[in-house]
Structure 1
Amino acid sequence: MNITLRQLRAFIAVARTGSFTLAAESLFVTQSALSGLIKEMEQSLGVRLFDRSTRRIQLSDIGREIFPLIDKTLLDLDGVLHEVANLKALKKGLVRVAAPQLMCSTLLPEVIAAYREQHPEIEIRLVDCAVESVVSRVFSGEVDFGIGPERDPNSEIRSDELFTLPFHAVFPPRHALAAKKEIRWAELIDYPLITLEGQFTERLSMDLHEGKREFDLAPQATVTFMSTALSMVSAGLGVTICIPYAASLVRLYGLEMRPLLAPVVSRRFYVFTRTGRSLTPAAESLRAFVLKFIAGHPDLQGR
């Protein structure tokens, strides 16, 4: 058997209207084309679906038996097609994004709020996590895409650069460093340094030792979250190091930041997606919006 969707729709239209003329009008086809579809369906099934007379047309016994089954099948199919249309038109959808805790508490809420103004029906779930777990969550399929700093290459992960920014020193407004427009890394030795633990400090130390530079990063304290470091700096316990995408949080704590020189050490941030895995229309839409929004963000210029 080779039953087509057009034949099924023709069968339902005739069964509901009891008229080839009305059914043809409802499907926007000619009466002869409709009759041809019914004839082809009957020939494929090997049964008569309608009993015809000069006065009326009605379902045969077999036609009455299969009508509710075909009707339900077409209703289910129309529901699926409607669902796909809504997803494609961004009238609904769920997007899951993984990002470091600092980015989730500074930059990304701005991006999401701006996106929701254009697409209020899209649900966005932000997964704030440790920097080291962003890529693994993308790889496992727990999230649609991730945003975070550069990591070792992985053939299963696609990386699209989002922005590149240099490290800045962060300190209270009346600190001795506040008089300077730029600060050398070596000048931080004179003050208690608070940094993030783990790969943040390890990678930064490696960068500072490139080219036989003689500056050793020797933090007095390491913490898990930048908000903790900023609180400690605000309390006068030292200075810290931060990427300026978090400038809004730095300002919230009443602190100031200056670029660090000699050397200039930058960090690249990327959007991570799983290679060979297609994004949903909503996820692709948000991903494109993030790239565009970041390109014009005032705290991310001078990349």
Structure 2
Amino acid sequence: MTIEIRHLRAAIVTAGTQSFSRAAKILSVKQSALSRRVQALEQMLGVQLFERTKRGTFATENGKAFLTVAERIVTDIDNLLTTAKNVSYGEEGRLAIGFSSSLMTGNLRFAIGDYIARYPDVQFDGIEGGTEKLFSGLQARMVDAAIIPALITEPGITRRNLWTERLVVAVPDNYPLTTADAIHWTDLRSEVFVLPTQGIGPAVSELLAAKLAAHGHRAKIITQDTSIESVISTVTIGRYITIATEASTGVNWPDLKFLEISDNGGPARLEFALYWRPDNQNPALGKFLKMLQERYPILQGE
């Protein structure tokens, strides 16, 4: 017997409802049939996925680990089915853009919004992740292009500088420097910063460390495996502060203030660049590159 999508879906829905009867109703099958599917899956795996009790049906530790992977597989299959039914590849096609910063506001949102408005028949897929994930996607041709705040050179990948975004420091609204005329890097030398391990976190960490080291100070940085939005939301606790881009200021954060950082007489900025494989012949990518060239005409390829 071979594991089929119906086996995985039965296990996933059962885990979510913690009940064979409720899962059967959701999947529009008889409870006995759903129970047999889950049992068959357990037999094929040689692992007990669920603990059956009078209180309900609960995933075992082995079951939880398996279901995490199963959910990703089912999601990928559903996405493939949707794509096959609704998108004709070729001139219209699909465009997968990787990014590592917030889409709430800013240049990234506007650029993607422009593309979707111009080419509504192209399926646009956004893929958020860190630099390593996105570059792996480029090499594997799962990602057409990536926009990230980093200047990286890698064989087979072309880079083009795009834009810069102002950096701001997120602080509680009672922070001592909120009334200062300007905030300089050295004003932050004694602070503890929390930054995400993904997204803009690595680039900001590197910049912060370099700026403080230039003045003989060591940056106190803690990294967390979470999003910049999650970090910002906990700054008001008062244990630490963080640095974000102007994109994050587009949301109303209660009891929080964003202070612009002054650097060499102007606002501190983070540079974003576009990366893609020059041998990628996807027509949808060609349209995206042309649109960016029109929007940012002084782009310089590197």
Alignment TM-score, normalising by the size of structure 1:
0.57
Deviation of residue 268 (structure 1)? 1.9
Q: Which amino acid aligns with 1:257?
A: F
Match of 2:206 in 1: 203
Which of 216, 222, 240 is the aligned partner of 2:242? 240
Q: What letter is aligned with 2:102?
A: M
Q: Which has the higher helix share?
A: 1
Residue type at the aligned position of 2:246:
P
Shift of 1:213: 2.1
Match of 1:260 in 2: 261
Q: Give the aligned partner of residue 103 of structure 1.
A: 102
Secondary structure of the structure 2 residue equivalent to 1:242: strand
Distance in 2, matches of 1:201 and 1:268, equals 10
User: Contact 1:99–1:147 at 8 Å: present in 2 too?
Assistant: yes
Corresponding residue of 1:215: 217
What is the 5 A alignment of 1:1-303? Answer: 87=91, 92-100=92-100, 102-107=101-106, 108-197=108-197, 199-200=202-203, 202-208=205-211, 212-219=214-221, 222-248=224-250, 251-254=251-254, 255-261=256-262, 266-275=269-278, 277-290=279-292, 292-293=294-295
Deviations 1:167-198 (A, max 9, x none): 32122344322212421222224544322337
8 Å CA contact retained: 1:207, 1:265: no
What is the identity percentage for the equivalent residue pairs of Structure 1 and Structure 2?
16
Asked if structure 2 preserves the Cα contact closer than 8 Å seen for 1:169 and 1:257, the reply is: yes
**Cα distance in structure 2, aligned partners of 1:200 and 1:169:** 15
| Cα drift, residue 129 of structure 1 | 1.1
Q: Secondary structure at the match of 1:256?
A: strand
| Residue-pair matches, total | 203
Quote the residue 1:3 is aligned against: none
Looking at structure 1, the residues matched to 124 and 170 of structure 2 have their Cα atoms a distance apart, in angstroms, of 32
Q: Does structure 2 conserve the Cα–Cα contact (< 8 Å) formed by 1:192 and 1:238?
A: yes
Runs of 5+ consecutive residues of structure 1 not aligned to the other structure: 1-82, 296-303
Shift in alpha-carbon separation, 1:191–1:217, aligned structure 2, 3 A: closer
Compute the displacement of 1:285 (Å). Answer: 1.5
Residue deviations 1:114-157 (CA, integer Å, cap 9, x gap): 33223221110011112332222212211111110223312311
Aligned with 1:252: secondary structure?
Answer: coil
Residues 1:261 and 1:173: Cα distance change in structure 2 (over 3 Å): same
Deviates more, 1:184-193 or 1:256-265: 256-265
Counterpart residue identity of residue 256, structure 1: K
Structure 2 unaligned runs (5+)? 1-87, 298-302
Q: Distance in 1 between matches of 2:212 and 2:239?
A: 26
Q: Is the deviation greater in 189-198 or in 135-144?
A: 189-198
The 8 Å contact of residues 195 and 221 in structure 2, kept in 1 or not, is answered as yes
Report the AA paired with residue 267 of structure 1.
Answer: L
CA distance in 2, matches of 1:283, 1:221: 34
Structural RMSD (CA): 3.1
* Aligned residues of 1:184 and 1:262 also touching (Cα < 8 A): yes
CA distance in 2, matches of 1:168, 1:136: 30
Q: Secondary structure at the match of 1:167?
A: strand
**In 2, Cα distance between equivalents of 1:223 and 1:294:** 33
Please give the per-residue CA displacement for 1:187-238, whole angstroms capped at 9, x wherever unaligned. Answer: 224544322337346523552256x421221035645320111111144443
- In structure 2, relative to structure 1, the CA distance for the partners of 1:170 and 1:136 (3 Å cut) is same
Tell me which residue corresponds to 1:57: none
Which structure has the larger Rg? 1
